[in-house]
Amino acid sequence: MFFQHVYEKGLAQASYVIGCQKGGVAAVIDPKRDVDTYLEIAKENNLTITKIFETHIHADFLSGSRELAALTGAKLYLSDEGDKDWKYEFPHEPVKHGDKIELGNLTFEVLHTPGHTPESISFLLTDHPATDSPVMLFTGDFVFVGDVGRPDLLEKAAGIKGTQDLGADQMYQSLQEFAKIPDYVQVWPGHGAGSACGKALGAVPSSTVGYEKIRNWALQMLSDKSAFTDYLLAGQPEPPKYFAMMKKLNKVDRPLLTSVPDVPNLSDEALRKAQSDGIKIIDTRDKKEFAKGFIPNSLNLQNNSALSNWAGWMINYEEDFIVVVPEDELEEVTRKLMRIGLDNIIGFVKPEQLSTAFGGQLKSYEPIDIEAFKSLLDDGSIQVLDVRGASEYKEGHIEGAINAFVGVLPDNLEKIDRRQNTVIHCKSGDRAAIAYSILNKAGFENMKVYSEGMDEWLEKGNSVVKGQLVEAI
């Protein structure tokens, strides 16, 4: 048997290539959208991709299943569980609980594992040349290492009321069945630490059923359904704004993108015109470089592991946009954006173009250190915006700080007092830089950024308030 784990760090997303080397055939589970990765793996190992599986209709990334099928001719095997609202709207092979799919000497058994979503399925793999007992379980967003899939996304991200309680009940029942699987079976989940599809995902890539029985909090609470449900629904991170769009695009027939697009380099004149026309400009440079000089009204979404996430919060799927990015990072940035369906990049500009295109019109700001921040706090005349998530804020925040989560800030600007001097902070500075650029674009003045944030504040032994939630938005 051939096996390769493919991990996309930016989305904390795992996909898998499993092959029968004797038959020269392979299947891919939950492929990302830039599918050249799988084509290269297959080519290097003399395999032909003939089958593509999905564990559910994904919310956090745009699946590459259809792109991969278009390029290879492979069949799509997709869930036929759930009601009419959870059916894929393009040609595929529908599968249900108990169905078995053969791939050379390998067998994949379909298990219906609802909870995260109603149609969720897992694939139980048996490698027949070695044994007639199952050896691997591909769980998607059902069971993670140390956690389980959240059932509240449909309600919070897609606005489908009343689904989180039903999902929690289904998750509880699915876990009862999971616990009956032999302890030795390996568990390969769809996500790792950093994903918004759960709240306590482990950093290691895989586990076993037996290990999860002794380690995973959810499997420790199966004797008390009420306590299980309460804990499952509490403290989940804010679902990114783009999740609802991913649910739609992964379900319907849509245009395909079978290669990484070429993005043109805009001239200085074209950049100035785009800025004048109000085209959104995404500056992917490091926050320190951005602070030294940036195009007026541009947003600072750094090219790091969180770029896809914050782009999904800040970019409308109907709008064109431009990226500021070094040319040697352009393909990487393009891939990160296409993985969540943000295809409307009309061009890029190199950092060195900013000064030639805008000259003395660039804006800048100087982050403040902890002593300057404390001095402003003692003065008592500032509003402090803590732009972390609500659960982080409740765990400990600076007294008097307003919780203004950066993801929803653009839609709630009227709730921030423009008249007051403002200091923005987060945990370590990245989200504060995004928030500064949002507020600057909206015309806010008298803003400062305490860039080192809560990491330094706590490291230096400063006090925090726990539990109380003072919300601006």
- CA-CA distance, 156 to 322, in Å (whole number)? 30
Determine the pLDDT at residue 16: 98
Decide if pLDDT at 22 tops 90.
yes
pLDDT band at 472 (very low <50, low <70, confident <90, very high): low
Decide if pLDDT at 368 tops 80.
yes
What's the rounded mean pLDDT across residues 445-465?
Answer: 96
Determine the pLDDT at residue 468: 67
Report if pTM > 0.85.
yes
Closest CA to 216 of 244, 245, 187: 187
Query: Domain spans of the chain?
Result: 2-249, 268-361, 370-459
Determine the pLDDT at residue 156: 77
CA distances, 118 to each of 197, 261, 295, 312 (Å): 15, 34, 45, 24
- CA-CA distance, 303 to 9, in Å (whole number)? 12
Pairing of strands 48-53, 75-79: parallel
Determine the pLDDT at residue 451: 96
Q: Which class in CATH covers the domain with range 268-361?
A: alpha beta
Decide if pLDDT at 199 tops 70.
yes
Determine the pLDDT at residue 15: 98
**Chain center to CA of 162:** 24
370-459 has the same fold as 268-361: yes
pLDDT band at 471 (very low <50, low <70, confident <90, very high): low
What's the rounded mean pLDDT across residues 65-77?
Answer: 98
Determine the pLDDT at residue 380: 85
What's the rounded mean pLDDT across residues 304-331?
Answer: 97
Q: Which class in CATH covers the domain with range 2-249?
A: alpha beta
Decide if pLDDT at 237 tops 90.
no
Decide if pLDDT at 422 tops 70.
yes
Fold of 370-459: Oxidized Rhodanese; domain 1 (3.40.250)
243-301 pLDDT tens trace: 999 999 999 999 999 999 999 999 999 999 999 999 999 999 999 999 999 999 999 99
400-412 pLDDT tens trace: 999 999 999 999 9
pLDDT band at 347 (very low <50, low <70, confident <90, very high): very high
Proportion of the chain above pLDDT 90, given as a percent: 89
Decide if pLDDT at 60 tops 90.
yes
Provide the mean pLDDT of the chain: 95
